[in-house]
Amino acid sequence: MPRTADAGSWSCGVSCATRQAGTASGGALFELTELDVTAGADVAFARGLLRCGMPEEFVANPDNRLRLTMGLRKVDGRWLIAHEHHSFPMTD
């Protein structure tokens, strides 16, 4: 069953959005740096790049990006995530 998309997390009008997620050590940062959306009447595809991690990780590896792709379907007037994939590049 597809999950409901959180429309508030993806804003095409904002080039960079920072979000906090609580962790035991004080909070990870999620910064959307790039977002491309291709949408039809009832299907869409989104691809994004995010900086994701703790502030000290951003300093140590400032170019590291989380890659995210989503396939969405419109069902009963609501956009649902039908497929999601995310990955970090290998840095070794």
| pLDDT tens-digit map of 3-13 | 334 433 333 32
> Which among 11, 29, 6 has a CA at the least distance from the CA of 79?
6
Residues 49, 32: Cα–Cα separation, whole Å = 6
Q: CA–CA separation, 7 vs 66, rounded Å?
A: 19
14 vs 41, more confident: 41
- pLDDT of the residue at 92: 60
The reported pTM is 0.61
Indicate the average pLDDT of the chain.
74
Task: Identify the pLDDT of residue 65.
Answer: 87
- Nearest-angstrom CA–CA distance, 74 and 45: 12
How far is it, in rounded angstroms, from Cα 68 to Cα 92? Answer: 21
User: What would the two tokens of residue 6 be?
Assistant: 């959180």
Residue 90 confidence (pLDDT) above 80: no
Confidence of residue 59 (pLDDT cuts 50, 70, 90): confident
